[in-house]
Amino acid sequence: MKIPNEELKKGVELCFKNASSLIEDAKILIEHGSYGHARFLSLSAIEEIYKAYMYALNRIEVWDSAELAHDTIHHEPKFALFVLSLLADALRKKIESGHIEIKKPLDIEDFAKMGEDLDSAIKDVSKSMREESLYVDYQNGSWLSPFDVHREDTESLIEIAKTKKTEFELLCNNLMSVPIELARASNEFIDKQLIPSVRDQIYKNVDELYKNNEITKELYEKILQNKKANQNIVNKS
């Protein structure tokens, strides 16, 4: 069922209110030495932050109602957004610092491996890290429990949750408050202008990347194939 816009706005506000409360409760647990449970509350706050983002995107139908019903009640879709957000932050910092080192030519298999590593990271956060913060289990010949969690790790996660709350609360408020056509136009601009511009930069520099031995011949030829296919689509349109 489609959620009315006024209810979406209320849901976004409630999610951020709950995230704030969970973060504050996590701080209290840290002072009582309950680091595992504090980490669990921090992870729950992160889930609420990205749930709010899903609700906000539903307003402009980026997240449709069927997906929303599933993704807001399951852990993995929310933590997927979180991990991707952290990855984007890391890449941006690398680009800004200029410290990007390619030790060997990138190949198609490297991108497949990146995808596998990303899936593994999402599962680690959504299942392993979350459950180990709350439950005692016997795995691989040893006991895992919330008492194994270190204070500094939990404090670091709380700071990340606070940063993400500030970042996404502003983004969600903008998505919910501006006229819906403007919100849609902003999203379309990102999809049709900013993302293709990154792709076009790759196309523009692909010869230089191959010449400098930064990508393999197989990946070079694959990029050229994609470039040609995109050009054909543009010409037909």
pLDDT of residue 150: 94
CB atoms under 10 Å from CB of 119, counted, come to 13
- pLDDT mean over 38-61: 93
- Residue 174 confidence (pLDDT) above 90: no
Is residue 53 within 8 Å of 172, Cβ to Cβ? Answer: yes
CB atoms under 10 Å from CB of 15, counted, come to 26
- Residue 101 confidence (pLDDT) above 70: no
The string of DSSP letters for 136-179 reads -EEETTEEE-GGG--HHHHHHHHHHHHHHHHHHHHHHHHHHHS-
What's the full length of the chain, in residues? 237
Q: How confident is the model at residue 30 (pLDDT cuts 50, 70, 90)?
A: very high
Q: How confident is the model at residue 108 (pLDDT cuts 50, 70, 90)?
A: low
Residue-averaged pLDDT of the chain: 81
70 vs 206, more confident:
70
Over residues 148-170, the pLDDT tens digits come to 999 999 999 999 999 999 999 99
Q: What is the pTM of this model?
A: 0.73
> Distance between CA atoms of 51 and 139, rounded to whole angstroms?
31
Torsion angles phi and psi, residue 145, rounded to 5: -155, 165
3 state DSSP class of 134: coil
- Residue 1 confidence (pLDDT) above 70: no
pLDDT of residue 84: 81
The maximal CA–CA distance of the chain, rounded, in angstroms, is: 65
84-93, 126-135, 190-199: range with lowest mean pLDDT? 190-199
> Distance between CA atoms of 28 and 134, rounded to whole angstroms?
16
51-55, 82-86, 162-166, 223-227: range with lowest mean pLDDT? 223-227
Query: Residue 124: exposed, middle, or buried by beta-carbon count in 10 A (0-12, 13-18, 19+)?
Result: middle
- pLDDT mean over 75-80: 90
pLDDT of residue 62: 77
Which tokens hold the place of 135? Answer: 């439950």
Over residues 185-202, the pLDDT tens digits come to 666 655 554 445 445 656
Which tokens hold the place of 218? Answer: 């197989």
> Distance between CA atoms of 36 and 71, rounded to whole angstroms?
25
b/e map 162-187, b = 16+ CB within 10 Å: bebbeebbeebbebbeeeeeebbeee
pLDDT of residue 118: 62
Alpha-carbon distances, residue 177 vs 54, 173, 180, 182, 230 (angstroms):
15, 6, 8, 10, 36
Name residue, tokens 């940063």: 163
